[in-house]
Structure 1
Amino acid sequence: MLGGIRSGKSAYAEALVAGAPSVRYVATSAGGEDDPEWRGRIEAHQRRRPQSWTTEETGADPGRLAAVLAEAKPDETLLVDDLGGWVATLLDPANQPNDDVATVAALAEAVRACAARVVLVSPEVGLSLVPATPVGRAFADALGTANQALADACDRVAFVVAGRPAWLKTAAAEPGIVTDLQAVEATAPLPAPAQVTIATPVAAPVAPAVAAPVAPAQVTIATPVAAPVAPAVAAADPGEAALPVDTVIEPGMDLPLPDSDSGPDARDRLERLDLPGAGVGVLLEAVEFAAATQSTAAPRPWGPVRVLLIDGSHAGGATAGADPAESGRRAAQAEAGTGALAQLAAAADADIAVVRVPASGAMEDGPVLDEAGVEAGLRQGWELAFAAADAGREALVIGACGAGTQAAATAVVAATTGAEPVAILPRVLVPGGRYDDEAWMRRCAAVRDALHRIRQEPRGAKDVLAQLGGADLAVATGALLGAAARRMPVLVDGPVGIAAGLVARDLSSQSRHWWLLADAGRDQLVRQGADVLGLTPVLDLGLDLGEGANALAALPLLRSAIALASALPVHPALLTAPGDDGLSDAADDEDDEDDAAEASDEAFTEPEPRGPGPASA
């Protein structure tokens, strides 16, 4: 993977190996201790990598890279990032005298002989000016020689510009590495969900419709009084295969990805529509997301939505300042169709599935959940997402109302991203609009003690859930994975949704492409976790209505933008003839635009100048 500075080559290389069951990240850069800016770049790369990947540092010894390739096993995937750091170390005076050409040749031979799958990232220096210093010229010459040797040794070579790859050399498809050139997905889209009709009373508040309990959690589905239903999203091809509901949930699981072309196509299409102004502004992000998840350049707004409201309590310092009965009251409100969440759900054509999960232990004292509880929670969430899809729900919203969930989410985010807990733990707000700073300090102490307790423990996705997250985060994580398996978009919202997203990403990196962050609210935890996940908030409303409620409040606005992108015709100035209905697809759009441009060129005549002026050729 070749590319210039900030070209997106590293991110694209990481995406290539996202579906591999085992990835070893080989870091070649050395130093940075005295350079905060360089150290910040390294840390940004570290935060972006899934926790399930292993990392090997070879910066101190350039010869070590060839040895790592020689030792690799056939079932491994190696991501080497990058050769620029390797060449810089090779040319370091501390490693001279050395036959640099022979070392480069040995590395190329090690790549050819490597039994594992290997992806190498390298800067392209051939497009810049010749460096002004002897050291700079030596580096450019050495890196250019290395790039040529490695390009000859590799099966495929891509040049990345502005995040988009241009494939310079191709070969047959290779298992575990998927390129847009191959257009291969391991899992096909799902069949259309079963049609389910739910009668909704109009004159009186809706009595909750109770579903059968699902072990180990208790699930109640309440249908608030609904607003007019938005147009339904087109169903998937019934002939396409679905992931089975009994799929094993484990690190490295392979889930489908949204269509990478439909989002940019929707952006291009929107520029030609008959909008009275300059466009939909920041809501373009929602239009592109809907287009990618629906695999069409003309997405339609989501129809009925399901809110998973997870009620699970924690013990110990995580619940400092919390009323133990408050979470139960909120859950009961949602079931009865009252309260803020139910009111917003009624306006957004959403029902609410209240999921009561077993209580989790005190994180500062020991694991909050055993291994069986983690597996049960993941399975529960996975099945809840499948049930929502089968019931005709077209999007999912994750919410939580349990005591101690914010502290548990803080601990998970800190453990997976390296964030400082005191910087991201939300303040404790008690009834009456008063902040309880003493309770906040007790929660901080519980998170600090928990992180200290697990400092030498494994940090795999399921380990984090068992040690810190608990049953509610396990259910939320399973729901995010299940929604991705069913190609269902998810509006993540609040600390629990973001923390569960970080864990779900480490189980399947493809899953994060199915999530949309409508509004980050005022929580630093949400903003920092979203940044690591690569989720940019569509809106900046600063909402703080509670988990799930923020997304429901923004949902009608998102639907409106998507509806405009779907329903509006092309602008008359871009039509080929009067009465033209507009563009039926992206190809027709381009043809009409070309025809309009040609007609415009033929009709244009340069006016004769009046008075003296510069002579023209």
Structure 2
Amino acid sequence: MSADGWSRILVLGGIRSGKSEFAESLVREASRVRYVATATTSPDDPEWVARIEAHRSRRPAGWATEEAGTDPGRLVELIRSAEPDETLLVDDLGGWVTVLLDPAHQPADDVATVAELGAAVRDCPARLVLVSPEVGLSLVPTTPLGRAFADALGTTNQTVADACDTVVLVIAGQPTRLKPGTPVATAAPRANVPAQPGADRDAGPAGRPDPVVPDAGTPASAWTGVLGAVPEVLRPTVTAPEPSGAEPGTAWTAPTMALPMVATGLVIQPGMELPMPDEQTGPAALDRLATLDLPGSGLGTLARVVEFAAATQRTATPAPWRSVRVLLLHGDHAGGAAAGTVPGESARRVAQARTGSGPLAQLAAEAGATLQVVEAPAAAPMEHGPALPVDDVEAALRYGWRLAEAAVDEGVELLVLAACGAGTDAAAAAVLAANAGAEPAAVLGRVVTPDGQVDDTAWMARCAAVRDALQRTRRSPRDAKDVLAELGGGDIAVATGILLGATARRTPVLLDGPVGVAAGLVSRDLAGQARHWCLLPDHGDHPAVRLAADVLDLQPLLDLRLGLGEGAAALAALPLLRAGLTLAGGLPARPGSDGPAGAETAARPEETAEPEETAELEEAAEPEETTGSEESEREPVESDDSEFAEPRPAGPGPTAVPDKTAAPDDPAAPDDGTGADTASAATSARGA
């Protein structure tokens, strides 16, 4: 496989679907391309000859052309003999199957020939793009030859698709990813799109939208390695990160294939229609909790975790999150926002995370989570001008979206947002002031030096920077992208993109710290659904987090007050959250419970009794009429509430009430449920 991402791609599509143009765009910037043509020409069909000439005319002059239209074995030989530094474009397998079925080549073992092609594709050392018609969506051909072609081509497509890293279906010029490639350290992330208005939000496995690759406006170079420059994924259980191959701090500027085009531009814009968690499974999970066989009173605060997981997983029995990824955002803010920070401190912390040391990496290792370092663009002093250019805000949003999609495509079930950068508290305070009208001094935490001393001078400098930035932008728009450009900076912009991408892929996110909640506030203006996929395990005793949580209606679960950096409290709480989900999903129903789970284990009496027995029970349950003399012998009843019945006592005692049907001299007579005064009734009985 090529070291910088994909190696083998199968592009499927119908007639005039744009599959060939898309395949050509994938390799247009490659330095050495061999075009393998499988079609045969005939002077008796001038229209077909014109089609082939159109294909030839749009190929770049530097491409070499190989003809493989007369011998099915020729294509296998060309693929096997390809060199690692070249790219092969095969267009298309439909022509190859036509030659394979030609009577001139029969009798031949078609299955064996197709198997040879699949093996050659799997072992090809070069980059390989294969184009093939998709005939499985059409009607069954009416002729034997047509059916033979459809069967052979379908078998070929399945064999080649199994050997390829990626399979793309092109419909009406729009490519849709069907098969993600095997992830490597720099593999191109898989893509997806949010549900558009009126779209089916329930499409795709497990309720997630179907994976879709890209819009027509995205540069094709994103497929050929530029998009593959993703920061390394560090598994904290190992001592060294996997190699990246990308220059630190530049990957965020790479174009993304994740965003489709709409009528007016890219889909990252205010008012996006993204999925919402399921409205029914959350309450159903809470109802089920009441029926579980628990020795105590229940899960307490963890019940909210069960409700959240049930809604996001769309099941009343949610499973604990097993595959978790921590996205550590590293982006410094210049100017007064970073007052009081030690130069190079954030870089040192990031270096610790890359090597598996430091509190965040240790907690990630303990939780079995992967840790991915994300280099965000540095922010300029907000008090003097925009923190980030508008174009860089767009790129950072797309980059964050792509990071979330890449994680989900690799099987991640839960994302944890973490941040490590100078001046992040001040940037989050500025975003909070702009979005929620907060007073900067009230949401800026105290500045503590490495030796544990409180630096009030640095705190005042940060307050002044935020105040000046808000004064500078007092007449500026307060749209999401404007806030990110003027105040938020690169790390909050990338975090916002992560929240939006995770929402589009129906993946929950744990927020922990000012950067995460600031991104939640900004994402609210782009897609109000994003906050419903966020969970706040702890507030960290940070004033900005407390206020933002109130604005976003995210009630913190715990009160750990950990001061270990953003993201650490979420990882520390993760085992507890998993424990709640384990109990909620693994415990059986309480014997005899009548709830959703108990209905399966215990039948109600009225469902098991015979009709005659039921009638007798109902008749026995009806109270008998009392005579006037009996009523006169009883003490007056203070309340005439017929719906109230005093509970029967557990044993004899001063609270025992004699039964009206028992003999007056029977001291152990049961309660009649009328609520008569016990002492008076007992005295009357003894006097009689």
Q: TM-score, normalised by structure 2?
A: 0.54
Aligned letter for 1:271?
A
Distance in 1 of aligned mates of 2:258 and 2:601:
40
Q: Which residue does 2:440 correspond to in 1?
A: 421
Deviation at 1:541, TM superposition (A): 1.9
- Structure 1 residues 563, 307: closer, same or farther in 2, change over 3 A? same
Tell me whether 272-281 or 244-253 shows the greater mean CA deviation: 244-253
Task: Give the structure with higher Rg (CA).
Answer: 2
Distance in 2 of aligned mates of 1:299 and 1:186:
18
Distance in 2 of aligned mates of 1:389 and 1:468:
30
Aligned letter for 2:276?
L
Deviation at 1:358, TM superposition (A): 2.0
2:208 alignment partner, one of 190, 194, 205: 190
Q: Superposed, which structure 2 residues align to 1:162-311 within 5 Å?
A: 185=201, 189-190=207-208, 205-213=238-246, 217-218=250-251, 248-311=267-330
Spell out, residue by residue over 1:74-105, the C-alpha distance to the aligned partner (whole angstroms, 9 max, x if none).
xxxxxxxxxxxxxxxxxxxxxxxxxxxxxxxx
Distance in 2 of aligned mates of 1:193 and 1:416:
33
SS at match of 2:374: strand
Q: Superposed, which structure 2 residues align to 1:559-574 within 5 Å?
A: 559-574=578-593
SS at match of 1:323: coil
Distance in 1 of aligned mates of 2:519 and 2:417:
10
Could you say which structure has the greater relative contact order, defined with CA pairs below 8 angstroms and 6 or more residues apart? 1
Deviation at 1:613, TM superposition (A): 8.7
- Structure 1 residues 176, 483: closer, same or farther in 2, change over 3 A? closer
Alpha carbons 1:190, 1:243 under 8 Å: kept: no
Whether 1:454 aligns to 2:473 is yes
Aligned letter for 2:521?
L
1:477 alignment partner, one of 496, 503, 506: 496
Distance in 1 of aligned mates of 2:209 and 2:322:
17
Deviation at 1:434, TM superposition (A): 1.3
Distance in 1 of aligned mates of 2:282 and 2:522:
26
Alpha carbons 2:248, 2:375 under 8 Å: kept: no
Distance in 1 of aligned mates of 2:235 and 2:208:
32
Whether 1:435 aligns to 2:454 is yes
Whether 1:595 aligns to 2:604 is yes
Q: Aligned-pair RMSD on alpha carbons?
A: 3.4
Deviation at 1:521, TM superposition (A): 1.2
Aligned letter for 1:256?
P
**Unaligned 5+ residue runs, structure 1?**
1-174, 220-241, 576-582
Alpha carbons 1:406, 1:426 under 8 Å: kept: yes
Aligned letter for 1:265?
A
SS at match of 1:543: coil
Deviation at 1:275, TM superposition (A): 1.1
Q: Which residue does 1:548 correspond to in 2?
A: 567
Distance in 1 of aligned mates of 2:247 and 2:406:
11
Whether 1:392 aligns to 2:411 is yes
SS at match of 1:310: strand
Q: Which residue does 2:150 correspond to in 1?
A: none
Deviation at 1:544, TM superposition (A): 2.2
Deviation at 1:201, TM superposition (A): 9.4
SS at match of 1:487: coil
Alpha carbons 1:216, 1:380 under 8 Å: kept: no
Q: Which residue does 1:534 correspond to in 2?
A: 553
Distance in 2 of aligned mates of 1:410 and 1:596:
61
- Structure 1 residues 199, 442: closer, same or farther in 2, change over 3 A? closer
Spell out, residue by residue over 1:263-299, the C-alpha distance to the aligned partner (whole angstroms, 9 max, x if none).
1000000110111111110011111000000000000
- Structure 1 residues 456, 277: closer, same or farther in 2, change over 3 A? same
- Structure 1 residues 458, 244: closer, same or farther in 2, change over 3 A? closer
Distance in 2 of aligned mates of 1:596 and 1:474:
60
Q: Which residue does 1:170 correspond to in 2?
A: none
Tell me whether 204-213 or 539-548 shows the greater mean CA deviation: 204-213
SS at match of 1:346: helix
Distance in 2 of aligned mates of 1:287 and 1:402:
33
Q: Which residue does 1:494 correspond to in 2?
A: 513
Q: Superposed, which structure 2 residues align to 1:566-585 within 5 Å?
A: 566-574=585-593
Q: Which residue does 2:386 correspond to in 1?
A: 367
Deviation at 1:416, TM superposition (A): 0.1
SS at match of 1:361: coil
SS at match of 1:355: strand
- Structure 1 residues 248, 343: closer, same or farther in 2, change over 3 A? same
SS at match of 2:272: coil
SS at match of 1:429: coil
Distance in 2 of aligned mates of 1:596 and 1:444:
69
Spell out, residue by residue over 1:165-208, the C-alpha distance to the aligned partner (whole angstroms, 9 max, x if none).
xxxxxxxxxx9999xxxx974876326999xxx99999x84321
**Unaligned 5+ residue runs, structure 2?**
1-194, 213-231, 622-647, 649-657, 660-665, 675-688
SS at match of 2:295: coil
Whether 1:319 aligns to 2:319 is no
Q: Which residue does 1:522 correspond to in 2?
A: 541
